[in-house]
Structure 1
Amino acid sequence: MHTFISIIFRYRWMGIAAIGLCCYGCSFSQPQPSHQVSSTIQSFTMDHSHNPYYSRTDTTTLHVSDAEWKKILPPEVYRVAREKGTEPPFHNRFWNFNGKGTYYCAVCGNALFRSDAKFASSCGWPSFFEPVRKNSVIYKPDHSFGMERTEVICARCGSHLGHVFEDGPPPTGLRYCMNSIVLDFVPDSTQ
């Protein structure tokens, strides 16, 4: 019995990590943070002046090494986009944001999602039921942390965006659970 209990305690971090990373079955509600993001008409974009690969009009597939991205991207963006990290739920800029406009890849500028495809999933990350174009994203099986998930990757630069699940609303029944840090938002009034 002692061995069984020590095994449970030794590996409990895996269960905690799995809960935090899976973003699966998020039908529960969570308290709202005190720092709500305003839905006023403004852009939420990173400074891309140092990124020669960023373009909201060029759809050419990029072939850039991780070493080069590491020189260009802020560390927290690199960790999620290139190392397949995740950000904390309920403490990211777009989980409770309702501005009208387009979400772009913060790494390369590829158009990813429209605000009219965004919905409140209560999982703590921004969720969408479909991408702006079918070829905006690509999908890869993800077997990490002992789970079976589908990773969503930017089709232009190959950056990790999040995961897609089959528990979303009509018309697609899909939930694209994305990391805010790898998204830029441009309101309709400025496009």
Structure 2
Amino acid sequence: MSRTEKEWRAILSPEQFRVLREKGTERAGTGKFNKHSAPGVYTCAGCDAPLYKSATKFDSGCGWPAFFDAIPGAIDRHDDFSFGMRRTEITCHNCGGHLGHVFYGEGFPTPTDERHCVNSVSLAFHDKKQ
């Protein structure tokens, strides 16, 4: 999905634009989906593509929504060398919107031992059967 900066600014809130299009990060503990636990599907706030099923969400205590796996094909992973370290950035496969980062090997009791640390502002939620 290709949109101009002007088109993105017209459909996203200023905070959504800052995070999704400029790779920003919301403050820890401030996002509406951090402690959210209803059954359904989390989609991209920019394009509404399905990203995560609620069954993969867990409380990591990090201050952002955490998931141990994405819907197959929903996200892309990119090396991110900002802040003087190597991290793995995750973006929406459909529109390229910045979601957050994946962290590996932290020892959480999840099937993948991955923590997809996602900005709430990058997400929308839909009550759907999984």
The TM-score, its normalising length taken from structure 1, stands at 0.64
What's the counterpart of residue 58 of structure 2? 119
| Runs of 4+ with >2 A deviation | 65-68, 167-170
RMSD of aligned Cα (Å): 1.4
Match of 2:22 among 61, 71, 83: 83
Instruction: Report Cα offsets for 1:60-116 as digits up to 9, x if no partner.
Output: xx1222232122211110000000001111111011111111000010010000110
Unaligned runs of 5+ in 1: 1-61
Instruction: Report Cα offsets for 1:126-147 as digits up to 9, x if no partner.
Output: 00000022x1000110011112
Q: Alignment length, in residue pairs? A: 128
Unaligned runs of 5+ in 2: none
Higher relative contact order (CA 8 A, sep 6+): 2
Aligned residues of 1:169 and 1:175 also touching (Cα < 8 A): no
Which has more radius of gyration?
Answer: 1
Instruction: Report Cα offsets for 1:2-38 as digits up to 9, x if no partner.
Output: xxxxxxxxxxxxxxxxxxxxxxxxxxxxxxxxxxxxx
What's the counterpart of residue 130 of structure 1? 69
Cα distance in structure 2, aligned partners of 1:98 and 1:181: 16
Greater helix content: 1
Cα distance in structure 1, aligned partners of 2:14 and 2:7: 13
Cα distance in structure 2, aligned partners of 1:153 and 1:116: 20
What's the counterpart of residue 121 of structure 2? 181
What's the counterpart of residue 146 of structure 1? 84
What's the counterpart of residue 111 of structure 2? 171
What's the counterpart of residue 93 of structure 1? 32
**1:19-98 counterparts in 2 under 5 A?**
62-98=1-37
Identity %: 45
How much has 1:119 moved relative to structure 2?
0.4
Instruction: Report Cα offsets for 1:140-166 as digits up to 9, x if no partner.
Output: 100111121000000000000000001
Cα distance in structure 1, aligned partners of 2:101 and 2:109: 16
Greater strand content: 2
